[in-house]
Amino acid sequence: MDELPEEEKAGIPAWVVTFADLMSLLMCFFVLLLSFSEIDAQKFKQIAGELAQAFGVQREVPALEIPMGTSPVFDQFSPAPPEPTVVNEVRQTTSEQAPELDTLRGRAEADIQRQLDQQVQETTTRVAEVLDEAIRDGRVQLAEDEHRIVIRIEERGSFPSGSADITWEFEGLLLEMAEVFADIPGKLTIEGHTDNVPIRSDRFRSNWDLSAVRASSVANVLLESGAVEPQRLVVKGLADTRPRANNDSTESRALNRRVEIIIDLSGPMAEEEARLRELIEGHQDEILIPNIESSPAPSAGLAW
């Protein structure tokens, strides 16, 4: 009896071998292309970061860093603090003082300042009238510095060069100024200034001596008139420490050789301001502002 032939087992199809060879060749080809290419690490990192944000990849947040939300418009976003909804509500407020008092007080402050400025201007005008001829000749200059009036006296026509002896013409001008100073309150500071050229003589050892003696010479003339009280005067010798111009030419050095008389009105102005404020506060209960310009001057205050 003949034996039956064994059944042939099914094997791998023939096309699989060809497909595997093709895939192996393709993989080798792309690996070869990748080996020839260059990778931009910074651009790769940026793209990877954008992909991580786009797909919501969670990152580690340090404990001290506050987590912030992201937005398609802004890179960083922080929510605004919540605020209550505005309610259209009208409330009536009351005040113990009259509503027009603040307006009146502001008007009074302006009146006080205007009155003080007017008094300083009147004082400057009085001094300018006495010094009119000297100002036009260029021997004297007049200026205002806040609550100070500065009378700048040039060396020309006042002192001989290198000397502290006052000329006869300048002495007469000082005597006229003393009469005006008698009616003007405040301190009188007399400052002597020189250039930077050293001086050494039998009388003056340096510019400090020269500037101090010139300032004291002016003070002596004012005291000899009897119109100026000694306790009002302050004498300073500053040598070349406060020049008006550079000492690089004859003209600039001449500008630095000078004597300045400074009328300090800050003290009397403060007293006058306090007096005017007391006048206003005395009428606050009646809500009245006095007419400051027509108010009488105090008997022992400013003498403008």
- Mean pLDDT for 59-86 is 57
For residue 76, with 0-12 CB atoms within 10 Å meaning exposed, 13-18 middle and 19 or more buried, which class applies? exposed
Note whether residue 211 is domain-resident: yes
Q: Quick count: other Cβ atoms within 10 Å of Cβ 237?
A: 21
190-212 per-position pLDDT tens digit: 999 999 999 888 889 999 999 99
Q: What is the pLDDT at residue 6?
A: 58
User: Number of folded domains in the chain?
Assistant: 1
Q: What is the pLDDT at residue 45?
A: 78
User: Which residues is 151 bridged to in the sheet?
Assistant: 142, 261
106-159 per-position pLDDT tens digit: 677 787 788 888 888 888 888 898 888 888 888 899 988 778 899 999 988 888
Q: What is the pLDDT at residue 294?
A: 44
Q: What is the pLDDT at residue 56?
A: 60
Q: Predicted confidence band at 26 (pLDDT cuts at 50, 70, 90)?
A: very high
Q: What is the pLDDT at residue 234?
A: 94
Within 8 A by CB and 6+ apart from 227, the residues are: 178, 179, 181, 182
Q: Quick count: other Cβ atoms within 10 Å of Cβ 192?
A: 27
Q: What is the pLDDT at residue 236?
A: 94
Within 8 A by CB and 6+ apart from 255, the residues are: 154, 244, 245
User: Which residues is 69 bridged to in the sheet?
Assistant: 77
> Which has the higher per-residue pLDDT, 196 or 287?
196
Note whether residue 239 is domain-resident: yes
Note whether residue 203 is domain-resident: yes
80-106 per-position pLDDT tens digit: 666 665 555 555 555 555 555 556 566
Note whether residue 91 is domain-resident: no
Note whether residue 41 is domain-resident: no
Indicate the DSSP class of residue 4: P
- Which residues form the domain of 245? 101-270
Note whether residue 264 is domain-resident: yes
Tokens of 240: 């070349």
Q: With both helix axes pointing from N to C terminus, report the angle between 266-281 and 101-130 in degrees, rounded to the nearest 10.
A: 150
Q: Tell me, what CATH number does 120's domain have?
A: 3.30.1330.60
Q: Write down the mean pLDDT value for the chain.
A: 78
Work out the angle at residue 46's Cα, subtended by the Cα atoms of residues 51 and 62, and round it to the nearest 5 degrees.
80
The alpha-carbon radius of gyration of the chain (Å, integer) is 47
In percent, how much of the chain has pLDDT > 70? Answer: 70
Q: Predicted confidence band at 290 (pLDDT cuts at 50, 70, 90)?
A: very low
Least confident range of 51-65, 149-163, 280-294: 280-294
Note whether residue 247 is domain-resident: yes
Q: What is the pLDDT at residue 137?
A: 86
Q: What is the pLDDT at residue 299?
A: 37
Note whether residue 5 is domain-resident: no
Whether the predicted pLDDT of 288 surpasses 50: no
